[in-house]
Structure 1
Amino acid sequence: MSRPDQRPKRLKVGTRLTVTVEALDASGLGRGRVDLASGSAPVLVEDGLPGEVGEAVVLYAGRTPVLRLLRRRRTAAERRAQPLCPRWTPRSPCRLMHLCRTAQLEFKRARVRAAFAAHGIEVEVAPVEAPSPPLGWRASATFIVARHKGTVVLGAYRRRTHVVQPMEACPLHEGPITRAALALRTILEAQSLPLANPQPPVASDDACGGPGEPAALLEEARGGPPGSAASGPAADGLKYVAMRASGAGRVAVALLSPSGRLPGADRVAEALRAAVPAVASVSLGHSGPGDVIFGDGALVPLAGEVAIEEVLGGHRFLLTPRLFFQVNRLAAEYLHGRAKAAAGGGCILELYAGVGALTLRLAGEAQRVVAVERVGPAVRAARQAAAEAGLAERVHFIEADAAALFSGDARRLQEALGGRGSAGAAVLNPPRKGCAPAVLDGLARLGVPRIVYVSCNPDTLARDVARLCAAGYGCVRAEPVDLFPESEHVEVLAVLERTGSAASGPA
């Protein structure tokens, strides 16, 4: 047995070992150990649950090897479930589908607790609320477009690869998106539309997320399944398709190419609307560089209007596939209600407001909401929604980057709030990367008595909460919401209250 500070000899792909699974990591992979002649080595285990022991094969031999369980000697039967999708494998995007529903929610609660504990924050984490069913909840989808053996594929990259996995019939998607995706695939095959990257490696099996047999697993681990080499990207070819469905069953579709041009796109748009009456909008736009989906420039309508109508919280919004909007309608309704209850009335400062879905919910009882958002089209959509709801006088929108506002234009924010100390609460809903330090420090200088922080990333949430706690706040509770059923992701609402004296306000 090696000393604790010695690193065991590197494992080789294809080696079979006995593994003991001890826990799940933050991504839902099993975390376990294997005993080697050189010592005990930590490993990650696909399809492994805590307490399971069995034979596994090495798929990736990096700093922390990844193994796949092949045969279990001991199984965690009380936690394991039959996946709801027949194409599921441990490499699918919905990584927790092999866990029973109760175990999924326990995992997500523990995930939030661990994130706070890593930053030394003691807070009561409530049980995870699950407002939506586990399937058919996803109201938006983005597909990579490829061609394999003459067949068009609308898919997504498998984990840790650039192998395209067909995803047209994913059961997480709402029905209108699935019907539109399947029809579009047939139309693209019939009309031979040019593709930006027509022949990337495409999965040759039907499993969602990866093959299941050991031989196929090892083949993919060593470089992917056989197929034509990827050709150079064509600027005028279709690269991505983005779809958004409304609660009324209407669908907006965006066709994206690197140049923003796509020969034959008009014919495809008309054919899609004829085949699927629920498709209310088809538009054309630029894809971004590399793997960035949306590039610069507005979407150009090909058939119908660019936007579709969505109703959330009793308010009407006009959405395009490009604008951010929560993907789970039922869970978003619940989450916004909890945020509204936590924020209370008075004057509320909202940062990262998006198209105003939470803004208008807050404005229902608040005296005034000052909403900050940097994306111009989102601000325009939010203003229109506020006007239609009769709330324009109670909501003041600022089109600006939140960090830049606190760093260089704090007086503009103070004037909108009516003077320092006039905001009774601040509501934050940043992207996964969290808030810039300038935003957190600026809030502390304002001395806002309560902060309601909504996040889809427990790690960056805990990091930002720790910074706010150091500036005089205390985290009083955390409420996880299962906005992304069957996956390892979780949304969290954290409530902070001022416990120390506020620093001097911005100059």
Structure 2
Amino acid sequence: MTSLVNAPHWQQGQVIDLTIDDLSSSGDGVGRWQERVVFVPNAVPGDKLQVRLTRVKPTHGFGQWLTILEPSPHRVRPACIVADKCGGCQWQPVSYARQLQAKEHQVQSALMRLGGFVSVPMAPILGAPQPLAYRNKATYPLARGAEGGVKAGYYRQGTHQIVNLNRCPIQHEALNPLLVDAKAVIQARAWSLYDEKKHQGRLRHLALRVGHHTGQTLLTLVTTGPLPGVDEQAEQWLSEHPDLVGVCLNVNGKKTNAVFGDETRCLAGQPYLEETFLGLRLRIQPATFFQVNTAQAEALVSVLLEQLNLQGNETVIDAYCGIGTLSLPLARHAARCLGIESQAEAVAQARQNAALNGLQNTEFFVGAVEDVLLEISRQQPVDVVVLDPPRKGCDRTVLDALLEISPARIVYMSCNPATLARDLKVLCDQAYALTMVQPADFFPQTAHVECVAFLEQTGMVGVKEPQP
């Protein structure tokens, strides 16, 4: 076999013919040339392409396709005219059926390769009935264009250059008129725009939200400081857009990539929109975390409730509870539901949402998940723990706390199959078995996938490869 290191014809700038076989978890098409893996953005499995290598390593490389020699049967026309430039969606050229297949494979592969599971008890993925116009939230960075106009959109792939948008096919349609109007107002009022390199200027981001079921919208300007005439403009926006229930100003003067700062002021209307979720009323503020695909979140939580089949006498802990998106549906079926969240503002919102729905069997705690888990378990037995951590997964201290309190069942919701597999390996190497995994497509047109895993206590190692 030819050594990869010494193999000829492998250099940056080289043009090769390449067949795309698969999709990576980062969204790129994957092909193989002279035993090397080549990653190509905006490529579709089945494409035969002419590709220029843009970066090469001994065993793999990255390329940009120049010509489609033969299109894949899975290739479709993107719904967005800037899909090949915008970094928001990687998979618009991929048929939706093929996207779902790739996401199922991504979850299964991570659990087998990283988690060591011999077989994965996985249900078919929950596909989105609406693969476009599903996002209930849009946060646009702002910049001045070459001719002085206002640009708002998403960053070009691999850069911080904004691809200007007036509409986005994956955003809820109610957000597009607000985007166009806001850009025109910012231009007319000559508000200064933030330059992240120089750390100068005022207006940083335009944040828009909509209630999928209620239709209520919320507009927030993120600035480094005051904007002249902004209170008057807020009232004008409220009068011109019937579904707009609030206009807010968030102040973020830090040198940071974080969108929101700590201070938010309501300029007109109310500082939240109302949404219904599985029949519950929720108040959602500008910086509140809430799943971007309401319909799919409802579908997945419905599966969670069905699988748990709570009998009404259980104590359930919702770790990383946020504003109570999972806690409140769980509380309707359990004796008690206790939420844990490190952010005090989110806990305050969770308490308000519980009161709004008359749920008196809930309690919410501010603190580190591992600490509060142990504290609660010392006072009462815990039957079920539901985890919905951020993308980085659970800290090892959280997993150790779970193993110490040893609930009969654990439910783990995740948007990152790699960290999910890592954490499930720890739990199932000790005293749990993986009984079911349900993937769901919360993010059509992208490589991201959500899933929920169900574990039961066994007192023995789960269904895994024997460890050496």
- What is the TM-score normalised by the length of structure 2? 0.91
Q: Secondary structure at the match of 1:175?
A: coil
Deviation of 1:450 (Å): 0.8
Q: Secondary structure at the match of 1:381?
A: helix
Match of 2:62 in 1: 66
Residue 430, structure 1, aligned to residue 430, structure 2? no
Match of 1:289 in 2: 255
What does the per-residue CA deviation read over 1:125-183, in whole Å, with 9 as the maximum and x for residues that have no partner? 22111243011110001110111012111112122111111234101111221111111
Match of 1:98 in 2: 93
Q: Secondary structure at the match of 1:467?
A: helix
Alignment of 1:147-186 (within 5 A): 147-148=144-145, 149-186=147-184
Q: Secondary structure at the match of 1:65?
A: strand
Deviation of 1:470 (Å): 1.5
Match of 2:414 in 1: 455
Cα 1:9–1:278 change in 2 (3 A) is same
Deviation of 1:108 (Å): 0.5
Unaligned runs of 5+ in 2: 462-468
**One-letter identity of the residue aligned with 2:377:** Q
8 Å CA contact 1:448, 1:498 repeated in 2: yes
Cα 1:54–1:308 change in 2 (3 A) is closer
Residue 46, structure 1, aligned to residue 28, structure 2? no
Q: For the residues of structure 2 that align with 1:185 and 1:232, how far apart are their CA atoms?
A: 22
Q: 2:323 aligns with which of 348, 355, 361?
A: 355
Match of 1:217 in 2: none
Deviation of 1:277 (Å): 2.6
What does the per-residue CA deviation read over 1:279-322, in whole Å, with 9 as the maximum and x for residues that have no partner? 2111111235321111223x111111211111111111111110
Q: Secondary structure at the match of 1:113?
A: helix
Q: For the residues of structure 2 that align with 1:173 and 1:47, how far apart are their CA atoms?
A: 20
Residue 112, structure 1, aligned to residue 107, structure 2? yes
Match of 1:141 in 2: 138
Deviation of 1:474 (Å): 1.1
Alignment of 1:10-49 (within 5 A): 11-13=11-13, 15-35=14-34, 40-49=35-44
Alignment of 1:463-482 (within 5 A): 463-482=422-441
Match of 2:464 in 1: none
**One-letter identity of the residue aligned with 1:81:** V
Cα 1:157–1:91 change in 2 (3 A) is closer
**One-letter identity of the residue aligned with 1:154:** A
- What is the TM-score normalised by the length of structure 1? 0.84
Q: For the residues of structure 2 that align with 1:262 and 1:449, how far apart are their CA atoms?
A: 54
8 Å CA contact 2:123, 2:437 repeated in 1: yes
What does the per-residue CA deviation read over 1:106-130, in whole Å, with 9 as the maximum and x for residues that have no partner? 1100000111011211312221112
Aligned length: 452
Match of 1:491 in 2: 450
8 Å CA contact 1:480, 1:493 repeated in 2: yes
**One-letter identity of the residue aligned with 1:484:** F
Cα 1:391–1:175 change in 2 (3 A) is same
Match of 2:377 in 1: 414
Unaligned runs of 5+ in 1: 198-229, 503-507
Match of 1:3 in 2: 3
What does the per-residue CA deviation read over 1:238-270, in whole Å, with 9 as the maximum and x for residues that have no partner? 011211111322211221123x43333224323
**Percent identity of equivalent pairs:** 31
Deviation of 1:7 (Å): 7.2
Structure 1 vs Structure 2 CA RMSD: 2.2
What does the per-residue CA deviation read over 1:1-26, in whole Å, with 9 as the maximum and x for residues that have no partner? 8414557676224x322123232211
Match of 1:123 in 2: 120
Match of 2:227 in 1: 262
Q: Secondary structure at the match of 1:239?
A: strand
